[in-house]
Chains A and B, each alone.
Chain A
Amino acid sequence: MTLGHLLGIDQLGRTGIEEILDLAEAFEEVSGRQIPTVPALRGRTVALMFFEDSTRTRLSFDTAAKRLSAQTLVFSAAGSSLSKGESLKDTFATVDAMGVDAMVVRHGCAGVPATATRWTTAPVLNAGDGRHEHPTQALLDCYTVTRHLGTPALDGLRVGIVGDVANSRVARSDVAAFTALGASVTLVGPPTLLPPSVAGWPVDVSHDLDEVLGDLDVVYLLRLQTERMASNALPSVREYAQRYGLDGSRSARLKPGAVVMHPGPMNRGVEISPDVADGPRSLVLDQVAKGVAVRMAVLFLLLGSPASEPRSLGTAPRSSGSVGHWPEPVAEGARDARQGATSG
């Protein structure tokens, strides 16, 4: 698989997602090494275009790129020429002119990564656009659950996505990714926090967490995004916590083996209580740790590896049987692909 751009989950399909997860597994091993880098993207430059505040996603991409030996060029909207009135189009064109090999784009408005593909020649990776999509978050969520369960997919699994779905790009990408891997998804929240319409969404809807709690294998809690929320969507944060927050007593009613996830940053005491966040069901820190490997996989694919490389990466490491001795050949392969070669 080669990726032109990564703008949303739907473009990947089940096999595309599985391929990325397999590749991430190989890269996760790299992260555990004493010197956690491979030269796969040596000499390449990845621009991190962050027009909206982000800590974990930016750091995660930065780390992923550096572990692949790529250079990163970090753009953040604060203090940039944007504040001097430069247009978004000119900002992209300017960074493009510096010669970057990929652009990782985070923006507060849906569609900016899609639009940016018209303004730059580099591949664009959507790192979160408004309330639209956050594909690498969904991929790392899938990676976290599948590896936790030791299964390649999510067939038959029941996932509840709880809370501020209307304002959540994570929810939109997760619905697409979880269902593509075979899970059934229920959105849970008051009507004011659910999308105005779920026509065409492969989901069930519930307004009562307690009613569905016992059926769920995965409880995916969303952050209450007060900064994007319509006024009066909720009477109070306290009432939200009472009706939809996952606290110890609700957690105790979950099935054995059920897990709790959250994309972060968490509002402890609102959507999740501290004991649950730090408890045995919580995969929250796992999600963060696995994010780097998934983003390495996506960057590697985005920067043009030949179609067959990911498979050879996962199944046939060169010489020593570990990914450790593999990097050089792949780096060559990546260079070939960039020159338009089709060898694999």
Chain B
Amino acid sequence: MGDGPVDLVVRGARVLTDGRLRYADVGMSGGRIAALSPTVEPPRGATVLDGSGCVVLPGLVDIHTHLREPGGEESETVATGARAAALGGYTAVVAMPNTDPPIDCASVARDVMELGRGACARVAVAGAISVGRRGDNLAPLGEMAALGVRLFTDDGAGVQDSALMRAAFQYAAPLGVTLAQHCEVAELSAGAVMHEGEWSSRLGLTGAPAEAEHVMVWRDIALAHSAGCPLHLMHLSSAVSVEILRAARARGVRVTGEVTPHHLSLTDAELASFDTVFKVNPPLRSEPDRRALRAALSDGTLDAVATDHAPHAPQWKEAPLDQARPGMIGLETALAVVLTTLADLHLGEDHFQEGRGLDDGAAATWRDGDRPASGGEGDRWVEPAMAAVASLMSARPAAIAGLSGQGRPIAEGEPANLVVVDPAELWKVDPSSSASRSRNTPFAGRTLRGRVRHTVYAGEAVVVDAAARR
């Protein structure tokens, strides 16, 4: 099938095909999957990746990544962000346009795409909806679409002007692109550093009500539907937002929604520490919101998990909460948070409830006879969880962002973009070991389940034994 002899083989793992896990070796050649069978004998000189105890999934796709280049290189670069992505099992990321200058025209888009060549993962870009992300005038969507840009957003802020947004949907409809919205009505969230509710009241911090999100979710569903343009709702954070999404989908609106790992696992109670690492936009919301997001992930209302990886150099976080920049890094922890959540959903547990989080005590409850390789009782969650990951973190996001060659099933002839993950490994998050330039992970010191062992991007083993090769 391949262009030549097999040069890379994953051996001894269970491979996800048609929603099932089966023991198979995966042989790759010339950037494609060349052999998929119970045993693939590696030719002399081929690289062999040990997959024992592991599961092979399609490479993950993150449609919401802040790479900070150009303009924010103190926090991240395309190269370091892509390396963090590869370590997290991603073979493609979509770079957000809130850079300096913003990606609001073909020349900047081309520059960032160029920076992505030779990176550890595919780097696609999202273009801005408005010039300078200022929300005044429509950006040249056509010129960027001609370069291959398929997703447009002013992320970092929502487009406030309803007339501009309406025009954007109308103009974009025939371009075959999707408009993605950061849903936040600025007037309702002015000065906010966290979710408005019990905790903001107690802590005396300005909160953003969940309505700041709902109002724009409603508005954009109405505008996109009548314009006939697909809409993607970014980082939905509240119970009402997913209810609206569910209702709109039922009425046939072309709308998709994503959720972040941190909104699935953390709540506004974290702000009691006043630690700026928990300042993020949209904010961590209440425990009932978190549970509703979890349910929406489980019932298929949410299409994708996206990281909103938002690196910030220390100086942007070591400040009072009202001045610290919002955002958290997430590329290297996303899969583990999602796997933990999916395992919990399957087993009727919730290791993140009530802000309890994962600690060594919680982790200890998993140690009883649930090595996936054993195929025992405790292993039953692995197959449905892996099938869900392949959909939520690979196939669906690739479709939303229009990324060809990504999110494909594992089959002979398909591009060799794979992640090999050990679903049982428990590991403690150590920010200092992150490949990102920034350290602002909210999971520092917490124990997570499920670790990327190898990542194969375009037929090259870019991560081997949880270490980046370049």
Contacting pair B320 A112 (CB below 8 A):
yes
Taking a contact as CB atoms closer than 8 A, the residue among A109, A172, A197 that contacts B322 in the complex is A109
**A132 contacts across to B, CB distance below 8 A:** 203-205
**B77 contacts across to A, CB distance below 8 A:** none
Complex alpha-carbon distance, A70 and B233, angstroms: 58
Interface size on B (CB < 8 Å)?
Answer: 23
Taking a contact as CB atoms closer than 8 A, the residue among A111, A197, A230 that contacts B320 in the complex is A111
Contacting pair A109 B320 (CB below 8 A):
yes
Taking a contact as CB atoms closer than 8 A, the residue among B201, B274, B320 that contacts A195 in the complex is B201
Contacting pair B205 A110 (CB below 8 A):
yes
Contacting pair B201 A196 (CB below 8 A):
yes
Contacting pair B207 A196 (CB below 8 A):
yes
Complex alpha-carbon distance, A234 and B39, angstroms: 75
Contacting pair B323 A110 (CB below 8 A):
no
B349 close to chain A: CB less than 8 A:
no
Knowing A114-B274, A115-B274, say if A133 contacts B318 (CB, 8 Å): no
A130 close to chain B: CB less than 8 A:
yes
Query: What is the CB-to-nearest-CB distance from B62 to chain A, in angstroms, rounded to a whole number?
Result: 31
The interface residues of chain B, by DSSP majority, are classed as loop
Of the four ranges (under 10, 10 to 19, 20 to 34, 35 or more), the interface on chain A belongs to 20 to 34
**A133 contacts across to B, CB distance below 8 A:** 204
A89 close to chain B: CB less than 8 A:
yes
Knowing A115-B320, A130-B204, A130-B205, say if A110 contacts B274 (CB, 8 Å): yes
Query: What is the CB-to-nearest-CB distance from A77 to chain B, in angstroms, rounded to a whole number?
Result: 12
Query: What is the CB-to-nearest-CB distance from B348 to chain A, in angstroms, rounded to a whole number?
Result: 27
B200 close to chain A: CB less than 8 A:
yes
CB within 8 Å of B: which A46-97 residues: 87-89
Name the CB-closest residue of B to A132: B204
A198 close to chain B: CB less than 8 A:
yes
Complex alpha-carbon distance, A112 and B319, angstroms: 8
Taking a contact as CB atoms closer than 8 A, the residue among B202, B205, B273, B318 that contacts A88 in the complex is B318
Interface string of A190-220 (1 = CB under 8 A from B): 0000011111110000000000000000000
B321 close to chain A: CB less than 8 A:
yes
CB within 8 Å of B: which A106-130 residues: 107-112, 114-115, 129-130
Query: What is the CB-to-nearest-CB distance from B343 to chain A, in angstroms, rounded to a whole number?
Result: 31
Interface string of A179-199 (1 = CB under 8 A from B): 000000000000000011111
Complex alpha-carbon distance, A109 and B322, angstroms: 6
Query: What is the CB-to-nearest-CB distance from A204 to chain B, in angstroms, rounded to a whole number?
Result: 16
Name the CB-closest residue of A to B206: A131
A169 close to chain B: CB less than 8 A:
yes
Taking a contact as CB atoms closer than 8 A, the residue among A108, A112, A169, A196 that contacts B200 in the complex is A196
CB within 8 Å of B: which A249-304 residues: none
Taking a contact as CB atoms closer than 8 A, the residue among B198, B204, B273 that contacts A131 in the complex is B204
Contacting pair B203 A111 (CB below 8 A):
yes
Contacting pair A172 B319 (CB below 8 A):
no
**A199 contacts across to B, CB distance below 8 A:** 198, 201
Query: What is the CB-to-nearest-CB distance from B204 to chain A, in angstroms, rounded to a whole number?
Result: 3
Taking a contact as CB atoms closer than 8 A, the residue among A111, A196, A197 that contacts B321 in the complex is A111
Knowing A87-B318, A197-B198, A197-B201, say if A109 contacts B207 (CB, 8 Å): no
Contacting pair A107 B320 (CB below 8 A):
yes
Name the CB-closest residue of B to A134: B204
B197 close to chain A: CB less than 8 A:
yes
Contacting pair B197 A111 (CB below 8 A):
no
Query: What is the CB-to-nearest-CB distance from A111 to chain B, in angstroms, rounded to a whole number?
Result: 3
**B205 contacts across to A, CB distance below 8 A:** 110-111, 130-132
B196 close to chain A: CB less than 8 A:
yes
Complex alpha-carbon distance, A166 and B204, angstroms: 8
Complex alpha-carbon distance, A204 and B434, angstroms: 48
List 9 A-B pairs, minimum CB-CB distance, nearest first.
Answer: A111-B274, A131-B204, A132-B204, A195-B201, A109-B320, A199-B198, A197-B198, A109-B322, A110-B204
Q: Which B residues contact A (CB, under 8 angstroms)?
A: 190, 196-198, 200-205, 207, 209, 273-276, 315, 318-323
Q: Which A residues contact B (CB, under 8 angstroms)?
A: 87-89, 107-112, 114-115, 129-133, 166, 169, 172, 195-201, 230
20 contacts between A and B (CB under 8 A): A87-B318, A88-B318, A107-B320, A109-B322, A110-B204, A111-B203, A111-B205, A112-B320, A115-B275, A129-B204, A132-B203, A133-B204, A169-B204, A196-B209, A197-B200, A197-B201, A199-B198, A201-B201, A201-B202, A230-B190
